[in-house]
Structure 1
């Protein structure tokens, strides 16, 4: 019963097999192999246009370098107050970009457009002392398991364009959001005004495969140097490409995300129908937040369930009461139905 994180899951067997097949041959290094070129071209097909693709090892590297590409001295990045780039990346985006991130509030883990406008207005381009607005970053799916609709992305994009700011999407769980919305990669990104994407594979069945994607290659001229300087240019980069080769083949990546989401749906249904536990708020991706009696939480841990307690957000509709605990449960491509059923049986007991 592993619900701590989709990072805890292993790698899908098809991806492991593809990696093993790659170990027996020679190929050009530093992104110059035929396989690297092939996968870059495949991203063009997926996004329905020519894109610039840069493979990196981690989501933190992807986010940091994507934002660094747009950096200007004194620049200010705008992101939701609970965003991963603020809370969970040890200041890496700030470090690599030389900028700082201004938090923007909003319910359900999403940037509130009105608050974004107000925040941007405090950093005009001639504000030498305060700094100048530089870029916006949204997380899809969000840190609290919700998903921006296409209209919500377009609303943020419109504000970005009004202010001449590029829009970045942190897509660590890009596939989970995509299949939930039932849309296309193009519609959820550049057709809705996104300029750069951190495309995540690690949380969805890969071992170590992330990509930074720019939807206007002309605006990514500095990225080769930024990636090299950040020690993210792999000499044997084809081993990242090999993972993506299997990941993208026959839409495996979408199937894996659908499975993870379906297991989260099963969790949500069970928790929502329980008298002893409750959903903390409604989520849509493979993250579920629930309020458990503390004794049930301990009982689940004692029987081998792995999950984390979570800090209570300020705007939580039904606050956590004495004797309760807010927890996060994350499903993955490797989650089995029995895992969910066993967990529900434990937490609903008594």
Structure 2
């Protein structure tokens, strides 16, 4: 019973089959493989963006950091939420790859709101050469607390960024989970709302290790190519990235996997709610933050359930005290395992 992370799940069999097929004979290196041409065309079609610049890297940190470094300058600041992955989990990689751009944290929650973003933007470029200049806005979709920005929320933030002439980046490590939750098109969740670049995740949703970086303004492509190479993220045997992404997109595997992950989470959340658990954030995709008494956490851990405690410890004198945990569902989680967990709870 494994609810620790969607990073912990297996690689989808269709992706493994595609890797095995790609492992035959020879293919041009560094992204010149024929599979990459298919991936590029497919992603352009998926996003309804025939002129988009499309690239592949191995990790979400590389995708976010290289994209933001291309959208901004070393003397600028990136506006993001205080729990954004680029702030909490990437070891200053965005700052490193940008050559020193800082991060400005907006608001107190996982979602940015226009009033807080406006206030943060207006505080910068007030000290002339002595302070950071305004730079990109970065949205995390799904957020690190399991929330999903609505299309209206994305558009409002993008319109505000546009008012100040700032580009918008979307960290879409769980892009597919958000998309199926909103029941919209990729174009509606990105460039039609005003997003300039997106990190399109594959690793958390059934791939071995591949993320796409998509710029809707192709004028950015040469700089990104240079930054990717200089940052040591241009993979020689690129066909193995292409093969993963091609399989991920074929027959909508990416959507099928995300729907299953979200359905697993909904099943889990319904059972937690019925058992009296409290939610820190309303589950909207494939992530749950739930609290219930410490003695139940201890019982579950003793039974071999794997998940992360969020704001407390297993050991404590107050057995009835509620402790919050984070649980994440992926596409591969069997319903029987969810039901077994709920039965134990």
Is TM more than 0.5 here? yes
For residues 216 and 202 of structure 1, what CA distance do their matches in structure 2 show? 25
**Aligned: 1:39 with 2:46:** no
Q: Residues 129-167 of structure 1: CA distance to partner in whole angstroms, max 9, x if unpaired?
A: 221111100000111001000000000001110011000
Assess if the C-alpha contact under 8 Å between 2:142 and 2:148 holds in 1.
Answer: yes
Q: Which runs of 5+ in 2 are unaligned?
A: 313-317
Q: In structure 2, how many angstroms separate the alpha carbons of the residues matched to 1:73 and 1:281?
A: 35
CA distance in 2, matches of 1:346, 1:293: 14
| 3-state SS of 2:281 partner | coil
Give yes or no for the alignment of 1:23 onto 2:30. Answer: no
How far 1:106 sits from its partner (Å)?
A: 4.6
Deviations 1:62-119 (A, max 9, x none): 0000000022232000000111000011111111112010101154x20021011000
1:333 pairs with 2:335:
no
- Which residue of structure 2 lines up, in the alignment, with residue 216 of structure 1? 217
Is 2:177 the counterpart of 1:176? yes
Q: Is the 8 A contact 1:59 1:210 kept in 2?
A: yes
CA displacement at 1:322 relative to structure 2: 6.8
Moved runs in structure 1, 4+ residues, more than 4 A? none
Query: Aligned partners of 1:100 and 1:225: how far apart in 2?
Result: 21
SS at match of 1:272: helix
Aligned residue number for residue 342 of structure 1: 340
208 and 137 in structure 1: CA distance in 2 versus 1, 3 angstrom threshold: same
Q: Is contact 2:258-2:331 (8 Å) kept?
A: yes
Q: What TM-score results when the alignment is normalised by the length of structure 1?
A: 0.94
Contact 2:293-2:319 within 8 A present in 1 as well: no
Give 1:75's aligned residue.
76
Q: Give yes or no for contact 1:204–1:253 (8 Å, CA) kept in 2.
A: yes
In structure 2, the CA distance between the partners of 1:78 and 1:273, relative to structure 1 (3 Å rule), is: same
Residues 106 and 112 in structure 1, CA contact (< 8 A), matched pair in contact too: no
The separation in 1 between residues aligned to 2:74 and 2:271, in whole angstroms, is 50
Q: Quick check: 1:146–1:285 contact (8 Å CA) kept in 2? A: yes
1:178-206 Cα shifts (integer Å, max 9, x gaps): 01100001110000000000010000000
Residue 299 of structure 1: aligned partner: 299
1:286–1:330 CA contact under 8 A, matched in 2 = yes
Note closer, same or farther for the CA distance 1:92–1:321 as it changes in structure 2 (3 Å cut): farther
Contact 1:125 1:133 in 2 (8 A): no
Correspondence for 2:284:
284
Q: Which residue of 2 aligns with 1:324?
A: 322
Q: Provide the TM-score with structure 2 as the length reference.
A: 0.95
2-side partners of 1:193 and 1:106: how far apart? Answer: 24
Distance 2:200 2:311 in 1: 27
Within-5 A mapping of 1:1-350? 1-49=1-49, 50-97=51-98, 98-107=100-109, 109-124=110-125, 127-275=128-276, 277-311=277-311, 323-347=321-345
Residue by residue, what CA displacement relative to the aligned partner does 1:316-338 show, whole Å, maximum 9, x if unpaired?
Answer: xxxx9972211000000111111
Give distance in 2, aligned partners of 1:220 and 1:131.
25
In 2, the alpha carbon distance for the partners of 1:189 and 1:27 equals: 33
Q: CA RMSD in A?
A: 1.5
Compare 289-298 and 124-133 and name the one that shifted more: 124-133
* 2: CA distance, partners of 1:321 / 1:67: 46
Tell me the CA shift for residue 211 of structure 1. Answer: 1.1
SS of 1:105 mapped into structure 2 = coil
Whether the 8 Å CA contact 2:203–2:210 is kept in 1: the answer is yes
